[in-house]
Amino acid sequence: MVPRIRIVASPIVELTFSLYIAVRALAGPIEPRQAWAQRLLREKPELLQRIAGFWNTPDFYEWAEIVVFAHRLGKLFAEPEDLFSRLEEVAAGPFLVPELPSESPGVREILQERLDRLAASPELRAAYIALLREFWAELQPDWERGAKKVAADMVKSMSERMEHTADVRSLLPRHHFAWRDVHAELVHSAVANGDVVLSPLALAGVGVAFFALPHFLLIAVGPDAERARDQRRASAAKAAARFKILSDPTRLSILTTMCQAPCSLGELAREFGLAQPTISVHVKMLREAELLESTKTGGQTFYRSSPEKVRDFIAAARADAGIL
């Protein structure tokens, strides 16, 4: 028996995930792939800053309370304005965040704190709703001009593929959260009960999402998610190569020494008690990593680095590894 899976586009799910992208766009040196995010970085950085600073929750970039609100109102698959017009009513609450089987207790605590803050402050609720409306106004042209059709095409394609499979995960890339062993029982139970909604992330492009409320499992995926996995692997290889440069204790000590003062190969050989050819190998690797500058004085070549260069190098390695 083919399971009953609802496959439907949701601009509210798109909005929620796009807020995550907006916050991440300011969190590190990686430029976002989405055209709308690049445009906002150029033209409306203050809007992204207000989004990033609204909740000010370190290392938690999601706005999942929107899904909680929309689910409570039965508006998860409505137009955003239909949700915005009811947000004051529901956010004035207060109410308890339901059990979220896909999330850690810490995430539920963060969301509960947000709901409590919104319920306690009419001013905060007004600012919250106004910010969501402003952000959606920036996204809506991209949604209407192209992403909406991409989402509709994905719904059609996934619906056709779902007719020939009993496993919703076969429609998803292998790195999707739904494939993780820890979620296997949750996915199987939701499928068996007909509680699964599969939704595209056309505005996000490369995104994946997995969010379980009581009696409701939302699985979302962008059209370029497979490509994003391959890009992550390539970025991880770059990060590993960068970390390898700093993994040798002698080479790292040499780099630290050249952050303090310019040194010649001969000076480094004497200081570290190594043959000059060995020092040359370490210095070559550091030069190729663009961690060193060289100058010639009196026929000798001196090499130096700086703490700023090393910090930038480590930041680039962390960004490639996805550790922001």
pLDDT band at 324 (very low <50, low <70, confident <90, very high): low
Q: Is 50 exceeded by the pLDDT of residue 127?
A: yes
> Which residues, in sequence order, are bridge partners of residue 303?
263, 294
Tell me what pLDDT residue 2 has. 46
On whether the pTM is more than 0.75, the answer is no
Q: What is the largest CA-CA distance in the chain?
A: 83
* Rounded CA separation 80/26 (Å): 24
Q: In the predicted model, what is the mean pLDDT of residues 148-170?
A: 91
Q: Is 70 exceeded by the pLDDT of residue 34?
A: yes
Q: Smallest Cα–Cα separation from 272: which of 245, 293, 252, 250? A: 250
Tell me what pLDDT residue 322 has. 67
Q: Smallest Cα–Cα separation from 7: which of 202, 189, 203, 157? A: 157
pLDDT > 90: percent of the chain: 73
Q: Is 50 exceeded by the pLDDT of residue 66?
A: yes
pLDDT band at 25 (very low <50, low <70, confident <90, very high): confident
pLDDT tens, residue by residue, 158-167: 999 888 888 8
Give the chain's mean pLDDT.
90
